Chains A and B, each alone.
Chain A
């Protein structure tokens, strides 16, 4: 196979997998070795070039790395099939009547071996241990947290790449007995009797227009909260090129400071932890040579600490999620590449992180270079290797709910800050906190941002720590505000009628519904109601019903649905799912 640097890595990987398959087919296999699973060494020799591939991998785009992951999973399945076929072939050639169990055990044994050499090693589940450093001194570690695994993951498959925010809100509305009309991927109305609530992504009736205008402007948020005594980082905005005043200001508030463009996105031009005039001058240079170099810029006090999202609903903190940068923890046995694959396998169990694996990027390479490691290094037991400078979950970051150990004084600050903003009953506050277990005066803390339409999947489906059903609490708060009683349905047995309008006939819509309904264990039927309407009755678990109903606004690739109406119905239980022609 050899190294062909001119070919993209994914292409090379596929070539390699094909080689493995053809060698297996053409090799001399004997039934005994196959049955005993003694092919490990032979297989390993064929698989060895993978090491080289990983070693020579340059920074990949996210999609490429995802493809590699998929390739690994696919070869997993392909080999399983291949070994089963081989075993059957050998069985025939061996002109004996071998019992069926032996064939199965032979293929399973091979499958197990191939799994090991194909970098899907069996290993302990990755854990997360919180251990902050205050002025470079490591603090007492918190007890380790184990990764979550959610049963909802396979049921939410119909959603595909659709955003889960709106789906989660819809699910809770259905649970409270509301009927739902969805007119877009993120837009729906929930109604019950005379009451009608509008939702757009995670924008809910708990937020007013002025609150969103404040929250979406970082400078305005600072100007509003600072005079009220909340811990916002001291700072101000300067027009482009006003470096003299900015430098005097940095000296006035004291180093370390951060410089960032006022209209910043994705960290472009941001220079943190500037400690002197000299560093500040070079930071201005970095800023000016960035894409946003001609914009106004902000100089503010640097806050040490990690990134937290605290959800406040109805004046109370409901979840506090620490967003840690992508990392792996060594076990003294596996290489960093293997640890990434192991962790990604566990991320597959989290609906919110399923499509956000840890990826190998320039930033990963930079972080590893800094530590003197490569992807083949085997870190020692318990050693945490940071793989990214960003806390972004889409860059492979971990979400950890730390509400249980957060200091009450921090919780109070979060609740008071949200209460101070009129018309804000639902908010995700972004904090930087040095050690969340310490009271406000003893640890560095700063409010970075208020999010009036914060993503709710992070708190609902964290990688580590207790999950919190934030949309449920939001819907309950809405009902409470309207003086409506809570009437939750039984999650496991819901019965709804779904009507999808638009270009939905002659495009395989019914087949699509039927396939997903069966996968989700739903019963009922689907039929064409008229030329532009498909009607389905779905019975079963709320999660499966809600995700299929949300996904109906997209449907199969040829469909163009315009609206989806979901109504609760009382129907006798159907036996299985029927596609009515």
Chain B
């Protein structure tokens, strides 16, 4: 999968956006999952604290309307109910493969090689046969950097080298995983001064299987949804006649990956409706990212159910219900530019805006905004994560003053 690019010239806020779906389409995919959860939680929470790196805290509303207790935390749309080392384990392909194999779960044939062993991976590719898939063993970014359909030796050699090269500004703050293990070794610099990943960073070479993609979404150890698609297709179809053995397989993987409250399991299978047997299925990836945004357009009802499971609440108002909120931005240095951008963004989203405080010495900006619930969520999410704006605050503290239900 190619890295999601985010070009300043294409920033979405210059145009009129009149629906949540249109807005979602205009965002980089990295920020979509977080916004879906945010749109679920914001209207239902007494107070919301949005911090850099797509970190969001939602405080529950007490009977008297005040916020209480510990907030629920989400990062990049991933629930804080997932435990850290389990997620790190998911990001380390070698680690989870070893674990699944030990429990008799079929994983795709693969081997990993360091940057020192170019010859070895070519030899291994020859042994397992093309086409092959190349991916980093440890995923330090939020997206999965797979290179698929590598069909010959030259291509593999070129892509192996290319994928290891570090480009300037390759990974923006948005794509870097805030909970990954940081790289400890020094970058490798070649004789031309080009920077590469450290030689010790390993890449995995795996056999690209033929069949159908099966995606199992697990919540608290149970199967929450299942989808499938032919390998080349983009659109997922619900696996209504999923064979019971795949459900059992999903539950077994979820049990092995204890500590993952929500887990996405991707497999390649011959036929999801027939029994999982030796040789007709293999797990190709595990992830903490459920990627609900990929299902949002075609399967809104299932997606809504999944989002409610992850967000831990069901909103009692629709996305179109009017909402009034008060937000405080911190860490603002160029007040004029912020004001200009804020007015333009609010206008694009069809919201009414009143700026009540703007102090660029303390860096504090306070404003009221009213409009549809989806626009309120989008405005605050865009500001917290620097989407389409230049003046990025260090935090956004939001209070819902009035929502459609009058609370």
Q: Residues on A close to B: CB < 8 A?
A: 181, 183-184, 187, 189, 194-201, 203-205, 207-214, 216-217, 219-220, 223-224, 227, 236-239, 242, 245, 248-249, 252, 419-420, 422-423, 452-453, 562-563
Contact = CB atoms under 8 A, between A and B. Distances in A.
A183 B138 CA distance: 13
Main secondary structure of the interface of A (DSSP, over half): mixed
Interface of B: 49, 51-53, 55, 57, 70-75, 78-89, 92, 94-95, 98-99, 102, 178-179, 181, 255-256, 258-259, 288, 330-331, 333-334, 360-363, 394-395, 397
A209 B333 contact: no
A563 B98 contact: yes
Main secondary structure of the interface of B (DSSP, over half): mixed
A198 B85 contact: yes
A80 to B, nearest CB: 40
A350 B212 CA distance: 57
Contacts of A242: 333
15 contacts: A184-B95, A198-B86, A200-B89, A201-B181, A203-B84, A208-B80, A208-B81, A209-B75, A223-B331, A236-B363, A238-B333, A239-B334, A248-B361, A423-B73, A452-B84
Contacts of A201: 181
Nearest to A250: B361
Given A184-B95, A208-B83, A210-B74, 5 more contacts: A195-B258, A220-B394, A224-B51, A224-B57, A419-B70
Contacts of A187: 88-89, 92, 95
B190 to A, nearest CB: 23
B179 A213 contact: yes
Contact of A227 (B81, B179, B360, B397): B397
Contact of A213 (B53, B86, B94): B53
B88 to A, nearest CB: 5
Given A236-B394, A252-B361, A181 B102 contact: yes
A217 B51 contact: yes
Contacts of B362: 236, 249, 252
A398 to B, nearest CB: 26
A479 B333 CA distance: 48
A216 B71 contact: no
Given A245-B360, A252-B361, A217 B178 contact: yes
- Cβ-closest 4 pairs across A and B: A210-B73, A210-B80, A223-B395, A213-B178
A489 B118 CA distance: 47
A220 B331 contact: no
A211 B80 contact: yes
A209 B80 contact: yes
A199 B55 CA distance: 23
Contacts of A210: 55, 57, 73-75, 78-80
Contact of A205 (B86, B92, B255): B86
Contacts of A453: 84
A236 B330 contact: yes
B93 to A, nearest CB: 11
B102 A211 contact: no
Contacts of A196: 256, 258
B55 A214 contact: yes
B44 to A, nearest CB: 17
A290 B279 CA distance: 59
Contacts of B51: 214, 217, 220, 223-224
